[in-house]
Amino acid sequence: MPALQSHPATRGKARSASDFWVVSVKGRQSDPRFRRSAFNDLVGRVMSSPGVALFDAVEVGVPTYLVDVIAGATGLAASSVMDMIGVSATTFRRKDGAGDPLPDVAGHRVMGFLRIAATLRRLLEESGDPAQLRDFDLDAWLAQWMREELPELGGKTPAEMLRNHEGLRAVEQVLGRMRGGLPA
């Protein structure tokens, strides 16, 4: 797997579509905190970027190393992340080995996952309770919640709903109704 790229000027907002996926964190890639920090940096970037920047970032291609970033941050196995974004292990290995980005559909699903994480972070920040924000493990909760069958989604999981834009919209609507507080 290629090393995660680092660029000191990219913390927060990305300067261009090609910079969007470049993560800037201190530490080593093998350190679990590195992946969590990279994930949090990307979620922050999604929160602070206009829709056109998110569109452009997906258009330039989503790097394969984001599978490991998401897995490391959420505690999911890389194979579970690949299942969630709809990329087979064979396709992943081929793309990763060639240094190519994820297939378009998988890239859109990665962005959808990041948008869901950004919405959840925003909900926590709007809760007005700094202790809740400090003590809440958003990444672990997100990983669990993405695999729960929800009645609001017709018994489907939020991860299943990432398959298309309408599913993502339905998940975002569920999150909108959660504004009163996150379930434990």
Q: Residue 6: its pLDDT value, please?
A: 40
Query: What pLDDT score was predicted for residue 35?
Result: 84
Indicate whether this model's pTM tops 0.75. Answer: yes
Domain presence at residue 89: yes
CA-based Rg of the chain, rounded to a whole angstrom?
16
Would you state the pLDDT for residue 19?
A: 87
Tell whether 16 is covered by a domain: no
Tell me whether residue 68 is in a domain.
yes
82, 175, 32, 85 alpha-carbon torsion, rounded to 10°: 10
Cβ 87 vs Cβ 106: under 8 Å: yes
Residue 21: inside a domain? no
Instruction: For residue 20, tell me if it sits in a domain.
Output: no
pLDDT for 94: 96
DSSP three-state, residue 71: helix
Residue 173: left (phi > 0), alpha (psi -120 to 50), or beta? Answer: alpha
Does residue 12 belong to any structural domain of this protein?
A: no
The boundaries of the domain holding residue 142 are 29-178
Instruction: Write out the chain's pLDDT in tens, 184 residues.
Output: 444 444 433 444 456 887 899 875 444 556 667 888 889 999 999 999 999 999 999 999 999 999 999 998 888 899 999 999 999 999 999 999 999 999 999 999 999 999 999 988 888 778 767 776 777 788 888 888 898 999 999 999 999 998 888 999 999 999 888 875 555 3
Amino acid at 168: L
67 closest CA partner among 54, 51, 84: 84
pLDDT of residue 143: 87
Could you tell me if 49 and 114 are in contact, meaning their C-beta atoms sit under 8 angstroms apart? no
Distance (Å, whole) CA 14 – CA 58: 13
Q: How many domains does the chain have?
A: 1
Count of helix runs (H) and strand runs (E) in the chain: 10, 0
Quickly list DSSP for 75-111. ---HHHHHHHHT--HHHHHHHHHHTPPPPHHHHHHHH
Q: Say if 24 falls within a structural domain.
A: no
Q: How many CA atoms lie within 13 A of 99 on its CB side?
A: 4
Does residue 117 sit within a domain? yes
pLDDT score at 31: 66
